[in-house]
């Protein structure tokens, strides 16, 4: 009788430990995986021929990007603002206001970027805050020109 109880006690303990381990291992992997994840390289997107952009006038450029979430891939339409003074040096701005993430627009009359959410105003040349509640200027994206094509390393902030 005593051997039978000891055996059942041992089997119950081993089964409990195995069940706890099966539950703990995936939770631990999910918790620690961001620490070991490699930094993703920026996605360089083509914005078109570098000579197509007007001088001193920001141009909104739309492009499609493949977004991967686990094993599901979707196409998303994104956009950026491109500004150049001389046709050789380009500034590419992320299209979201740094205050609350709203989309902003270029207003020709004032020659400023204007965010309609809380009336944030940004300088088109530098991206600096000119008025409104944003605490910092517009986010810039890395750019390069290869073979006459303008590329930007798009990312969300």
Q: Please write the tens of the pLDDT for every residue from 35-44.
A: 776 655 557 8
What's this model's pTM, rounded to 2 decimal places? 0.71
Give the C-alpha separation, 21 to 98, whole Å. Answer: 44
Give 107's contacts (C-beta < 8 A, 6+ positions apart).
113, 114
Position 60 pLDDT exceeds 90: yes
User: For the chain, what percent of residues have pLDDT higher than 70?
Assistant: 96
Of 93, 90, 61, which is closest to residue 78 (Cα–Cα)? 61
């Amino acid at each position: 009788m005593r051997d039978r109880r000891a055996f059942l006690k041992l089997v119950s303990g081993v089964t409990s430990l195995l069940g706890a381990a099966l539950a703990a291992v995936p939770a631990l992997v999910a918790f620690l995986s961001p620490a070991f994840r490699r930094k993703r390289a920026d996605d360089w997107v083509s914005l078109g021929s570098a000579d197509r952009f007007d001088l001193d006038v920001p141009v909104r450029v739309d492009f499609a990007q493949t977004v991967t979430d686990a094993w599901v891939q979707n196409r998303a339409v994104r956009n950026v603002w491109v500004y150049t003074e001389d046709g050789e040096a380009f500034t590419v701005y992320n299209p979201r206001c740094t205050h609350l993430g709203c989309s902003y627009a270029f207003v020709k009359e004032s020659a400023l970027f204007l965010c309609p959410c809380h009336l944030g105003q940004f300088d088109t040349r530098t991206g600096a805050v000119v008025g409104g509640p944003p605490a910092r200027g517009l986010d810039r994206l890395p750019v390069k020109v290869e073979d006459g094509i303008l590329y930007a390393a798009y990312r969300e902030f």
